[in-house]
Structure 1
Amino acid sequence: MKLPVVAVVGRPNVGKSTFFNRVLGQRLAIVEDRPGVTRDRNFARAEWAGRQFYLVDTGGMVEGSDEPMDRLIRDQVMAAIGEADVLVLITDGKAGPHPLDYAIAERLRRAAKPTLLLVNKVDNLGSANATQHHDFWDMGLGEPYPVSSTSGKGSGDVLDQIVAHLPEVEGEEEESLRVAVIGKPNVGKSSFVNRLLGEERLVVSDVAGTTRDAIDTPMQYKGKRLIFIDTAGLRRQSKIGEGVEFYSAIRTERAIERADVCLLLLDATSGPISVQDLKVAEKAWDAGCGLILVVSKWDLVEKETMTAPQFEKEIRDRAPFLKWVPILFTSAVTGQRVHRVLELIVEVQEQRMRRIATHEVNEVMRALVTRAKPPAYMNHPVKLLYATQVAVAPPTFVIFSNHPDAIAESYQRYIQNGFRDAWGFNGVPLRINLRQRGEDEE
């Protein structure tokens, strides 16, 4: 990454995610008043005083614990520390210095990187009684900075210090292609992303629902910068509870909305595609994203009873739009065809950004109309007068007609399929808007 990285670390429930959200000015990380809500490294881009950097929220670190989840989170925190240019240790001013704070501080000293010590939950900042942060001087990390992440008090001074410690970078960061990895819980999304990245960047556990936030993870591929958004799985609405699961579902939908391309992971061992999988696919398609179906755990399927062509046919038969969606059979365990998805992502995005010249659009439309004219409307002929592409991402065409409201959906599909036969647009939703002749084309 060209931009510097600032990692926010600390023991559980000291307000790391609240500080993370405060700096970003939006609620990207889930915040609940109990430990263990944040588990993965959560990347987000931040800016202060004209400097841009990545802010990384991490899970609560518990030194000495042998609990499986605590060990996984600890590994993630250590990875974040290793990647960071600046470290921010968050402590709890109300509770005072804690033995875990000292243990984490010792790790940060060994990292030998610029480190800021924040004493959070100092809500009376500015009053004569706001002295509890002085108790943290003996942690050996220099001056403790009192802040209230909830109200924002003191955050400006801290950000000034963070920016002062950032390394200088040259040049602008290249444009990124955002890829949301979506699907039901526990289909192997995090394992798949880890396999692509070649390292354990995301927490992987047999416990369903391990990923809760939408996690942004950058990588480079053939000179292009991809950002993978590993999301919490979408469940049926009736199964989404309060608190963490509710906000996880919202963040997954937001991840789809801000993605360029979505990878929908399907569990091969559960059959071709479920109703819930189909709903998730429709969410991505309706949002205008490119879409690729990735059938995971293909190594576990008995090939004598289910072949890839048969599996693919059963998927495509579930919805008309799936005819145009690439399907890839993979295994995160063996690595089978996992990296082929990178080529597909780039190809689908190129289709999503493709622009067709107006004269070519009208030539194809006239050929389609000559082959099959639209049905008449109240004994008057319906004419398609002119067509042009007005947008990309997704490709959008406007067709002007003397009776646009009279053109049946079946004929609109005929035109759309004709456009796809001419230009492809595989993996990409194609939109056609009908307008009355004489309407402004803007």
Structure 2
Amino acid sequence: MNKPVVAIVGRPNVGKSTLFNRMSSTRQAIVHPTPGVTRDRNYIEVSWSGIEFVLIDTGGIEVNSHDSLLQGIRYQAEMAIKEAAVIVFLCDGQDGVATQDIEVSRMLHKTFQPIILVVNKVDNILREPEFISEFYRLGMGNPIAISSIHGLNINTLLDEIISHLPQYKEISPIDEDTKDERKKNQIAVAIVGKPNVGKSSLINTILGEERMLVDNVPGTTRDTIDTLITWNDKEMILIDTAGIRKKAKIEEDVEKSSVLRALAAVKRSTVSVLTIDCNEGLTEQDQKILSKIEERGCGCIIAINKWDTRPLDEETETLREAYANFIREQIPYLVFVQVIFTSALKNQGITRLLNLIESTAQKHRKLISTGKLNRAIEKACEEIQPPTIKGKQLKIRYATQVKAGPPIFSLFVNQQTLFTPAYSKYLMKKLRGEFGFEGVPIKFAVKQK
């Protein structure tokens, strides 16, 4: 059974992201005093009293704004409202009832779902009556006074939420073992790249809906947004991230936080998809992002996006191959990286991208038996003899895989200094070809024995 959805909505800067983080016991949403930091719908699973539901954080609703970015934020909030089984309407107790609160309440009165009016920033429960009395005029029933920062009355709010969930008493308690096993098998996919290369558009095309806010203004995405999908009966978590610019160009604290979260998304990913604009090619900043991906050890795919913007008379397989080779020539140290061509706008290459993500994740987690591994290394050593330095030849006595995700192999040799970078590169190439480790980094732990 699908988990019920609970949406937190309200005008800007009333503490929605702080409440989202408090209820989910995470720091998934960026919290900053600047209005408009949250822009997309941010989803997370929450459990209370053995009941699970999906919580959505939304951007601040500005009902009458004509700004395209703010209209996009409002659209994302409206989509969350349509999806929700329960709506948490959050207001600011310090400010009292604002004009924007009244505008949002009029919008919510047109819905049919249960609405829980919550008054935030009530840090002194003894003064609760004076804070909440004027909110009765919004016509939303009895307000619940809370403090998201201090955690006051959050339990009361959660109890109220689950009381409104459809058939909540019939939802089975969480099986933690099943939950852990499910998370273990999920494929985390970080969609990363510079600003405005089409990362959010790519995810929207995969989902078949405008889940992520898309605008021509660089830096539209702020939070890292996790979206769970199923592909070929496998669960994938698509992580939309903020565009990563050069450090010198990062000015706002919010953007610094966004970039750090984007890099953290790479660290927790099984596969990272570096999205680049085909009209710009692989830039210096892209190469720096690739170095972070290599450092993490996750699988890597370069998605050359906006391919539909190329002149039609240039659209040939030969051109694609030449372009892909040109990209690979710029990153000779990352021979394992796979290249694919996409167009989020035209829905081109999306199925192939998802299949490539799935196969790359499988290779990332692959385990090779010790017998097969040693036979492959013996064969490689027969084809090209190990190096000899000052009359002493390298001997690989034994090998075993000690870890997957990424694959790490322990090699026991007669002398570590004889294991040259050139021969290491050769062995990696042979193992990649023998066992199908395309798209995945291979690491050696060389030990003297």
Q: TM-score range by the shorter chain?
A: over 0.9
Please tell me whether the aligned partners of residues 353 and 392 of structure 1 are also in contact (alpha carbons under 8 angstroms).
yes
Instruction: For 1:25, give the aligned amino acid.
Output: S
Q: Give 1:32's aligned residue.
A: 32
Instruction: Determine helix, strand or coil for the equivalent of 2:2.
Output: coil
The alpha-carbon deviation at position 79 of structure 1 amounts to 0.5
Q: Which residue of 1 aligns with 2:115?
A: 115
Superposed CA offset, 1:261-296 (max 9, x none): 11111101113x111111112212221222111111
1:17-96 pair list within 5 angstroms: 17-96=17-96
Other-structure match for 1:286: 295
**Matched residues in 1 for 2:322 and 2:134: separation?**
67
The amino acid that maps onto 1:107 is: M
Secondary structure in 1 aligned to 2:117? strand
CA distance in 2, matches of 1:222, 1:359: 31
SS of 2:75's partner is helix
Shift of 1:310: 1.4
The number of residues matched between the two structures is: 435
Cα distance change, pair 382–192 in 1 and its aligned pair in 2 (3 A) = same
Mapping for residues 99-178 of structure 1, pairs under 5 Å:
99-125=99-125, 127-128=126-127, 131-167=130-166, 168=168, 169=171, 174-175=182-183, 176-178=186-188
Per the TM alignment, residue 88 of structure 1 is displaced from its structure 2 partner at its CA by 1.1
Report the residue type matching 1:425 in the other structure.
F
The residue aligned with 1:224 is: 234
Cα distance in 2 between the residues matched to 1:423 and 1:214: 34
| In structure 1, C-alpha distance between the alignment counterparts of 2:127 and 2:276, rounded to whole Å | 59
Is 1:189 aligned to residue 199 of structure 2?
A: yes
* 1:297 matched residue in structure 2: 306
Which residue of the other structure, out of 236, 247, 250, is the alignment partner of 1:237? 247
Q: d(CA) in 1 for partners of 2:89 and 2:307?
A: 43
Shift of 1:403: 2.1
- Greater alpha carbon shift after TM alignment, 308-317 vs 237-246: 237-246
Instruction: Name the SS for the 1:44 alignment partner.
Output: strand
- Secondary structure at the counterpart of residue 3 of structure 1: coil
- Amino acid of the structure 2 residue aligned with 1:188: G
Q: Write out aligned runs for 1:299-378 (5 A).
A: 299-302=308-311, 307-376=319-388
- Find the residue that maps to 1:220 and give its secondary structure: strand
How far did residue 186 of structure 1 move?
0.4
8 A contact 2:122–2:128 mirrored in 1? no
Aligned-partner residue type, residue 332 of structure 1: A
For residue 196 of structure 1, give the secondary structure of its aligned residue in structure 2: helix
Partner of 2:11: 11
What does the per-residue CA deviation read over 1:76-130, in whole Å, with 9 as the maximum and x for residues that have no partner? 00101111222111100011122322332333343222322211111112x2565
Deviation at 1:184, TM superposition (A): 0.4
Distance 2:399 2:14 in 1: 58
Unaligned runs of 5+ in 1: 438-442
- Judge conservation of contact 2:47–2:53 (CA < 8 Å) in 1: yes
2: distance between equivalents of 1:129 and 1:292?
54
- What are the residue-to-residue correspondences of 1:400-415 with 2, within 5 Å? 400-415=412-427
State the shift of 1:134 in Å. 2.7
Alignment partners' CA distance in 2, 1:423 and 1:70: 50
Does 2:399 correspond to 1:387?
A: yes
- Does structure 1 residue 203 correspond to structure 2 residue 195? no
* Same amino acid, percent of matched pairs: 40
Separation in structure 2 between the aligned mates of residue 21 and residue 267 of structure 1, nearest angstrom: 34
Q: Which amino acid aligns with 1:325?
A: V
| Partner SS, residue 69 of structure 1 | helix
Compute the displacement of 1:342 (Å): 1.2
TM-score, normalised to structure 1, is 0.92
CA RMSD of aligned residues (A): 2.1
Report the residue type matching 2:16 in the other structure.
K
Taking a change above 3 Å as real, the CA distance of residues 130 and 369 of structure 1, as seen in their structure-2 partners, is farther
Gaps of 5+ in 2: none
Q: What per-residue deviation string (whole Å, max 9, x for no partner) do you get for residues 368-399 of structure 1?
A: 22333433466554321111112211112111
1:188-214 deviation line (CA, Å, top 9, x unaligned)? 111111111111111111111111111
Displacement after TM superposition at 1:42 (Å) = 1.1
Query: For residue 91 of structure 2, what is the amino acid of its counterpart?
Result: T
Inter-CA distance 122–177: structure 2 relative to 1 (3 Å threshold) = same
Once residues 417 and 151 of structure 2 are traced to their aligned partners in structure 1, the CA distance between those partners, rounded to angstroms, is 53
Bigger shift: residues 356-365 or 31-40: 31-40
Q: Cα offset for 1:162?
A: 2.4
Conserved in 1, the CA contact under 8 Å of 2:276 and 2:304?
yes
Contact 2:389 2:418 in 1 (8 A): yes
Give the corresponding residue for 2:261.
Answer: 251
Q: Note the C-alpha offset of 1:32.
A: 1.7
CA contact (8 A) 2:6 2:86 kept: yes
SS class of match (2:187) = strand
Deviation string, structure 1 residues 147-198 (Cα, Å, up to 9, x no partner): 1112222222222322333344468665432211111000111111111111
Task: Tell me the residue number matched to 1:440.
Answer: none
Please state how far the C-alpha of 1:225 moved relative to its aligned partner.
2.1
Query: For residues 287-338 of structure 1, what are the alpha-carbon distances to aligned partners after superposition, in whole Å with 9 as ceiling and x for unaligned?
Result: 1222111111111123656821111111010122543222111212222222
